Homo-oligomer: A and B are copies of this chain.
Amino acid sequence: MEDSIVKEETAFSLTHKKDESFWEWYSEVVTRGEIIEHYEISGLFTLRPCAISIWDIIKGFFDAEIKKMKIKNCYFPLFVAPLNQQKQKDHMEQFESVLAWVTKTGESEVEIPFAIRPSSEAIMYPYFSKWIRSHRDLPLKLNQWCNVVRWQFSHPTPFIRSHEYLWQEGHTAFATKEEADEEVLDISELYRRIYEEYLAVPVTKGQKSELEKFAGGQYTTTVEAFIPNTGHCIQGAASHCLGNNFAKAFEIYFENTKGEKDMVWQNSWAFSTRAIGVMIMVHGDDKGLVFPPKVAPIQVIVIPVSSREDANSQVIFEACAATVKKLVEAGIRVEADLRDHYSSCWKYSHWELKGVPLRIEIQSKDLANDQVKAVRRDNGAKTDIPLASIADQVKVVLDDIQQNLFDIAKQKRDACVEVVDTLDEFVNALNRKKVVLAPWCDEEAVEKDVKAQTKMKVSSIKTICSPLEQPELIKGKTCFASDKPAKKWTYWARSCDMID
């Protein structure tokens, strides 16, 4: 029976190819790679240790950064208390179709059913109103790491669209708009760094259009990633300036320095485990997961190459242990796969599927030359590394893999962007799964009109964002869709039910 287990598992190649059937490939790679387990209730997923390990690394980075900004962590209850005021209820309306309701506790029906948080504005802001009295109570800058529940019925996708997911939600209140504006951008920059520096996923920092912004907020900044295989953009995280809108609804007033009653300026910002899904979509390949070294749960896997009968096997095993020790001491996340019932080849495929960035093979002929072989997951390149300088050299290789994954992803992304000047070019590019960058008048009516006009010609489309760093002067340009003067270069792409 044991042999049959081993044999069964040696069938490593994925059934689906990334370029041929992307969504099936994705679904297969997250389960076979043991990062996700489907749950008995459809639309819920278990995050296996590999996923939580990645989450903890990016969480660690972000948490340390927001602490430098004097943002404090807290934890509000899971449930939205029944709201009294109509203007507060209005805010919850946008979530109405996705709320999970508790109607019974123990044996008793609850008097007024309450919802599980889809986001915590309605839970937190009544207390902002209570806690903030004077300008001296400002700024109030809170964040929480928690789970949220949004019961979206169609297209559950691991990490991307799940009934429950993990996120952080920051909620801050300021005396002035300037402070709020500054924080929105600071947080956006941290989100960019998570994606680009940790997940090796290039993103565009930009501002959402009026139509696409967070309802109830004043403006929304976003970091947008791009999935070349499907031609879709995916919102990686959002940092919203809420203006005074919620202050009005939740009566968050303060006495300003002049002794007058004033309203706070608020922000909210969030990123979630969705980031892990985006990373997998961008880097994964037909052999399985591909993790950037900075977030890889295991950065290096050490594999002895010898048969059981090999006279040198003891020497090889000792070399494996010594290598692991050296790398651990250098702060590298490393493991050795010393199992003797799997072949080296089986192990190669296994750890490729699991996305480990670098494999070190240790065999007699290399040891004789005081070196080992290193094989990169990103490009398959093989190098001999002298044992004497192994930790330093492995670090160099890992850094290079990190950079290479980013560079490749950026090349692919950039190759998919097309600058267009007219609606014809626009339709043509979108039909070729491109993201378009177009001069636009930034008017809601025009956006709606373009959506309506193109519905038959392309699938449903939308604005992605106007990049904060505009690629070139917009002055003098005409909107691609209206005859009006263009105000912003703006990205547009096709919408996607699996993502949006």
Contact A44 B77 (CB under 8 A): yes
Q: Is A218 an interface residue (CB 8 A)?
A: no
| A residues whose Cβ falls under 8 Å from a Cβ of B | 1-2, 5, 37, 39-41, 44-49, 51-53, 56, 72-79, 81-82, 96-107, 113-114, 116, 126-127, 130, 133-134, 136, 142, 144, 146-147, 149, 151, 153, 164, 166, 255, 259, 339, 341
Contact A2 B74 (CB under 8 A): no
| Chain A contact residues, majority secondary structure | mixed
User: For residue A52, which residue of chain B has the nearest CB?
Assistant: B73
Contact of A49 among B106, B142, B151, B259 (CB under 8 A): B142
Contact of A105 among B82, B101, B136 (CB under 8 A): B101
Contact of A164 among B49, B78, B136 (CB under 8 A): B78
CB distance from A160 to the nearest CB of B (A): 16
Contact of A255 among B2, B100, B107, B144 (CB under 8 A): B2
User: For residue A255, which residue of chain B has the nearest CB?
Assistant: B1
Known: A102-B102, A104-B113, A255-B1. A75 touches B52 (CB 8 A): yes
Contact A97 B106 (CB under 8 A): yes
User: For residue A257, which residue of chain B has the nearest CB?
Assistant: B2
Contact B151 A105 (CB under 8 A): yes
Q: Which residues of the partner chain B approach A1 to less than 8 Å between Cβ atoms?
A: 255, 259
Q: Which residues of the partner chain B approach A44 to less than 8 Å between Cβ atoms?
A: 77-79
User: For residue A124, which residue of chain B has the nearest CB?
Assistant: B46
CB distance from A380 to the nearest CB of B (A): 29
Q: Which residues of the partner chain B approach A79 to less than 8 Å between Cβ atoms?
A: 41, 44, 164
Q: Which residues of the partner chain B approach A56 to less than 8 Å between Cβ atoms?
A: 73
User: For residue A114, which residue of chain B has the nearest CB?
Assistant: B41
Contact A39 B73 (CB under 8 A): no
User: For residue A40, which residue of chain B has the nearest CB?
Assistant: B81
Cα distance, A174 to B149, chains bound together (Å):
33
Q: Which residues of the partner chain B approach A49 to less than 8 Å between Cβ atoms?
A: 72-74, 142
